Amino acid sequence: MDEPRRSGLQEARQDRGWTQQEAAEQLARLAWLRYGERVGVNADMIAKWERGEKSPSPRYRELLCLLYGATPEHLGIARTTRSKASPSAKTAAPEVTERGLVDALGGAAAILDQLGSAGGILQPRIFEAWKDDVVRRRIVIKLMGIMPAAAALPSVAESARRSRSGKPTPENIGDMEYLADRYQALYHSTDPAALMMPVVAHLATLGDLLRQDPAPTERRRLLVNRARVGTLAGRLSFFDLQDPMAARAHYSLALEAAREAGDHLQAAAALAHVAFIPAAEYGFTAALDYLHGASEQLRSAPCRPITSWLAAVESEMHTNAGNPTAALHALDRARDTLALPGLTLELPWFDYYDATRLCGFAGYATLRAGRYDDARIELGTALSKLPRLAVKQRAVFLADLATVELHDGNLDHACKLAADAADQLHQAGYATGAGRLRDFRAALDPWKTTTPVRALDEQLATLH
- Nearest to 308, CA basis, from 325, 323, 291: 291
Read off the pLDDT of each residue in 230-240 and give the average, rounded to a whole number.
96
User: Distance between CA atoms of 406 and 14, rounded to whole angstroms?
Assistant: 41
Give percent of the chain above pLDDT 70. 79
Comparing 247-261, 344-358, 436-450, the range with the smallest average pLDDT is 344-358
DSSP tag of 352: S
Helix axes 58-68, 99-115, angle to 10 degrees: 110
- What pLDDT, in 10s, does the model give residues 150-186? 333 333 334 444 444 568 999 999 999 999 999 998 9
User: Distance between CA atoms of 400 and 368, rounded to whole angstroms?
Assistant: 10
Q: Which sequence spans correspond to the domains of the chain?
A: 8-94, 98-262, 392-464
Alpha helices (H) in 146-191, listed in sequence order: 156-162, 170-187
User: Distance between CA atoms of 204 and 210, rounded to whole angstroms?
Assistant: 10
Burial category of 249 from C-beta neighbours within 10 Å (exposed 0-12, middle 13-18, buried 19 and up): middle
Burial category of 318 from C-beta neighbours within 10 Å (exposed 0-12, middle 13-18, buried 19 and up): buried
User: Distance between CA atoms of 10 and 278, rounded to whole angstroms?
Assistant: 48
DSSP tag of 340: S
Write down the pLDDT at residue 92: 37
Q: What is the mean pLDDT of the chain?
A: 83
Say which residue, 103 or 32, is predicted with more confidence.
32
Q: Which amino acid is at 213?
A: D
Read off the pLDDT of each residue in 282-309 and give the average, rounded to a whole number.
95
User: Distance between CA atoms of 183 and 206, rounded to whole angstroms?
Assistant: 15
Alpha helices (H) in 321-371, listed in sequence order: 324-339, 355-368
- What pLDDT, in 10s, does the model give residues 203-223? 999 999 999 999 999 999 999
User: Distance between CA atoms of 377 and 375, rounded to whole angstroms?
Assistant: 5
DSSP tag of 89: G
- Nearest to 260, CA basis, from 305, 289, 230: 230
Look at residue 431 and tell me whether its pLDDT is greater than 50: yes
**Confidence band of 133 (pLDDT split at 50, 70, 90):** low
**Confidence band of 343 (pLDDT split at 50, 70, 90):** low
R_g of the chain, CA atoms, integer Å: 25
How would you label 127-147 residue by residue, b for 16+ Cβ within 10 Å and e otherwise? bbbbbbbbeeeeeeeebeebb
